[in-house]
Copies of this chain bind each other. A is one copy, B any other.
C-alpha cells in the first residue's frame, strides 16, 4: 500500500545526520513508501548529497526555517515557532499530504503541536504515549508513558480502547487482551483510580484480562498494559536504568582479567546475539495515540538504526489504518451508549 510519511529531520540529538540516512534506508527497502523530509533545505540537501541520494517523486523536501530545541518549553514551541520542522511535519499530516509524521524532537513540544494542529479524535479526551516493550512471550504495548500524570478512570479506559485498536491494526490480532497495571492481582488491591477503571473496563467491550503487575509487562501476560502516565514513565525509566546497570556490570566482569577477556572473546557471538535480541533500538518509536493523525516519537538519542524503526512504526500504523479503527470503535461505543 502506497503511503507517505513526513519526517522531522531537525529533531533529536543528531538531526539530519541520523534522520535523513534513516529515511533514505527505509525508502530503499520499501518501494511503496514516499518520504517528505522536513527541515532546513540546505542541511537536508547536503546530507542527501553525502549519501549519494537525490530528491525524486518519492523523496521530497519541505523547507522549515525554524527548529524546536530539545529543552524548549512546549508552549513557546507552539506559539512562537510556526515554521519549525516539527510544526510543518504535523501540518503535512493535517493537510493529508502525509499519512503520518515522525520526530525525535522534544516530547512535550511534539505533544502540544500535534494536539493543536491535528486535534483529538471524537470521544478521546487526552493523547497518550504508547510504546512496545520486549517480553518473554512476544512483546507488550504499554501506555501511557508520560503524557498524562493525572488521569481519571475514564482516561484509562480510553487508553485501553485506543491501544487495543492499535494492536489489532498493526499486528492483525482480533481482540487483543488488555491488562490494568496494579500492585497486586487481587480485586481488593490498588488505589481508587485503578479500582474504578477496572469496573469500567469490565463493563466495556474490551478484552479485559484484569489486573497485571509490573513483572507481567516483560512476561507478556497481556497484549496491552494500561496505566497512568506517571506510573508508566517510572516503569519505563526504571527499566532503562536497570538494563544499563546490568550491561555495565556484564561488561566490567568480561574485562576484569585476561581470562575473562578471553572468555568474552569466545562468547562474542553469543553476547552479540543476546544484545540483538534485547536491543532497545528495535523498539524505538512511541505512538502519540488519540490524535486525528499518526504521530510517532523517536527517542532523542536515536541512531540511524533506531530511527529507521520509528519510521517503520509510522508506516505500519498508516498501512494498518489505526485512525479509522479507533474512530469506528469510538463511534460504535457512542451509538450503543446512546
> Interface size on A (CB < 8 Å)?
57
- Whether A241 pairs with B229 at a CB distance below 8 angstroms is no
- Whether B215 pairs with A237 at a CB distance below 8 angstroms is yes
- Whether A238 pairs with B237 at a CB distance below 8 angstroms is no
Q: What residues of B have a CB within 8 angstroms of the CB of A256 in the complex?
A: 270, 273
- Whether A241 pairs with B215 at a CB distance below 8 angstroms is yes
Q: Which of A165-173, A246-254, A285-293, A322-330 contacts B (4 or more CB under 8 A)?
A: A246-254
A106 to chain B, nearest CB (A): 12
Knowing A238-B235, A243-B242, the reply to whether A191 touches B149 (Cβ < 8 A) is yes
Q: Does A217 contact B (CB under 8 A)?
A: yes
Task: Report which residue of A146, A233, A262, A271 has the largest number of chain B beta carbons within 10 angstroms of its beta carbon.
Answer: A233
In-complex Cβ contact of A218 among B216, B230, B242, B262 (8 A): B242
Known: A181-B234, A190-B230. 10 other contacts (CB 8 A): A146-B183, A214-B233, A214-B239, A214-B240, A218-B245, A231-B231, A242-B242, A254-B267, A256-B273, A266-B267
Residue pairs across A and B with Cβ atoms less than 8 A apart, 19 shown, are: A135-B245, A183-B230, A214-B237, A214-B240, A215-B237, A215-B238, A215-B240, A215-B241, A217-B238, A217-B241, A218-B238, A227-B234, A231-B234, A235-B235, A235-B238, A239-B242, A249-B278, A259-B269, A260-B270
